[in-house]
Amino acid sequence: MSEPSRKLSTEEVNALMDGLKSGDLSASTSVKDGSEVEYKKFNFGSDDLSLLGDYYALRLINERFARTVRGVFLPLLRVQPRISSFPPEVKSFEEYSSGLDAFMSLTNSRIDELRGSMLTVLPPSFVSLCTSSRYGGKLEVNDAARTEFTATEEKIIEVINNGISDVLEQCWRDLTVISIKFQSREQNPQFAAFVESTDLVIVCSFVMQLPNIDSMSFDIVYPLQTLKPVSSLLRSRVQSDVVESNMSWRDKLEKAVLEVPLTVKSNLSEPIVSMSKLLRMKSGDTMTVNLDDTVDFYIESQKYFKAEMGELNGNASVKLAKRIN
């Protein structure tokens, strides 16, 4: 039978600490049976989000952004793109920038409310596709090597970044009000005066899918220091304003659907006559029809019920007897 566990007294804890400091005792990671104890070092001053937990609200913002930003690209691409968001990643800016090509569109914007900035990264193939489609060209990717954007592409980059900033401000509004202002634009990641190479950044990646074209992605990058003032809000798993907004939208949609007018009708009889008899018909002729016990009841030309004919308050009526569909 194992001995019952007990807490160490203050004197015993002090004795152990003194022994560790003097070197008489050494910290061991082994247990009585000789097996190694698995442990993970934790730096309480670390900025690593993987240690602090997931920014749940940031994922919600990104998902909402992916749905809404399609309106920015629709006028440029002339087709409705499908845009999805990836979970945010935390890495050093050096690690992130080393994975970028030497020629990219990097737009640095200021977020005054958070006393920080953000970086919008667009690959040149993405910019070329939007430019070509905007001015009537084919929806195809241009992978030709080059070192600078044309004046027309610079204008498209400005349109895209302005649209992205407006959508981001809307998506952040339920969490906190922000305003995004353009600061600078670079084409080489090495010259992007964004943050120090060792600083941690949160990379939010979005992938765009279009018909008959390989998927393309673009990134929005936040320095970790920029999001620190709202870190507690970003880790919150309850977004009441968002839920209320979604419920309000759902209620309005349900009300609008329920008020859509529908045409209903019932066919009492469908007699069959020969062409010769039809040609001999004139005003005043009488046609004999056979009425069944039930009639077909239609909603928007679709047969839904079998109904029985009758009278209600002096008006001809039908009673729905059996549903068909």
More confident residue, 241 or 96: 96
Pairing of strands 294-299, 264-267: antiparallel
Residue 234 sits in the same domain as residue 182: yes
Quick one: residue 215, left, alpha or beta (phi over 0 = left, psi -120 to 50 = alpha)?
Answer: beta
Assigned domain for 32 exists:
no
Residue 295 sits in the same domain as residue 211: no
Of the candidates 11, 18, 5, 188, which has an alpha carbon nearest to the alpha carbon of residue 103? 188
pLDDT at position 308: 87
Tell me: pLDDT of 156 over 90.
yes
Residues 211 and 79: beta-carbon distance below 8 Å: yes
pLDDT at position 68: 92
Mean pLDDT of the chain: 82
More confident residue, 145 or 66: 66
Residue 189 sits in the same domain as residue 63: yes
Assigned domain for 198 exists:
yes
Query: SS3 for 257?
Result: helix
Residue 78 sits in the same domain as residue 183: yes
Tell me: pLDDT of 176 over 80.
yes
Query: SS3 for 224?
Result: helix
Query: Tokens 């309480």 label which residue?
Result: 44
Identify the band that residue 245 occupies on the pLDDT scale cut at 50, 70 and 90.
low
More confident residue, 232 or 23: 232
Residue 138 sits in the same domain as residue 187: yes
pLDDT at position 121: 96
pLDDT at position 274: 86
- Give the N- to C-terminal CA distance of the chain in Å, as an integer: 70
Residue 88 sits in the same domain as residue 202: yes
The pLDDT of 212-228, averaged and rounded, is: 90
The pLDDT of 125-133, averaged and rounded, is: 91
Residue 248 sits in the same domain as residue 295: no
Burial label for 311, CB within 10 Å (0-12, 13-18, 19+), is exposed
The pLDDT of 144-150, averaged and rounded, is: 85
Assigned domain for 17 exists:
no
The pLDDT of 138-148, averaged and rounded, is: 79
Residues 114 and 97: beta-carbon distance below 8 Å: no
H runs (alpha helix) in 173-239? 224-227, 231-234
More confident residue, 238 or 93: 93
d(CA 176, CA 171): 9
More confident residue, 46 or 183: 183
DSSP 265-303: EEE-------HHHHHH--TT-----PPPSEEEEEETTEE
Of the candidates 185, 186, 160, which has an alpha carbon nearest to the alpha carbon of residue 103? 186
Which CATH number belongs to the domain containing residue 212 in this structure?
3.40.1550.10
Residues 76 and 133: beta-carbon distance below 8 Å: yes
Residue 127 sits in the same domain as residue 234: yes
Q: How many domains does the chain have?
A: 2
Q: Which of 226, 252, 278 is the last residue of a domain?
A: 252
Assigned domain for 238 exists:
yes
Assigned domain for 220 exists:
yes
Query: SS3 for 312?
Result: strand
pLDDT at position 240: 46
Taking only the tens place, the pLDDT of each residue in 247-276 is 566 777 777 888 888 888 888 878 888 888
Pair of tokens at residue 137: 């060209």
Residue 156 sits in the same domain as residue 217: yes
The pLDDT of 227-242, averaged and rounded, is: 71
The pLDDT of 212-230, averaged and rounded, is: 90
Residue 100 sits in the same domain as residue 181: yes
Assigned domain for 80 exists:
yes
Tell me: pLDDT of 288 over 90.
no
Query: Tokens 């349900």 label which residue?
Result: 254
d(CA 292, CA 304): 17
Tell me: pLDDT of 171 over 80.
yes
pLDDT at position 54: 63
Q: Which of 200, 228, 252 is the last residue of a domain?
A: 252
Inter-helix orientation angle 151-172/70-77, to 10°: 150
Identify the band that residue 52 occupies on the pLDDT scale cut at 50, 70 and 90.
very low
Residue 305 sits in the same domain as residue 219: no
Burial label for 302, CB within 10 Å (0-12, 13-18, 19+), is exposed
Query: SS3 for 143?
Result: coil
Residue 203 sits in the same domain as residue 321: no
Residue 223's domain spans which residues? 49-252
Among 41-55, 68-82, 164-178, which stretch is predicted with the lowest mean pLDDT? 41-55
Among 90-94, 223-227, 308-312, which stretch is predicted with the lowest mean pLDDT? 308-312
Assigned domain for 7 exists:
no
Assigned domain for 284 exists:
no
Q: Report percent pLDDT > 70 for the chain.
A: 80
Residues 80 and 70: beta-carbon distance below 8 Å: yes
pLDDT at position 154: 95
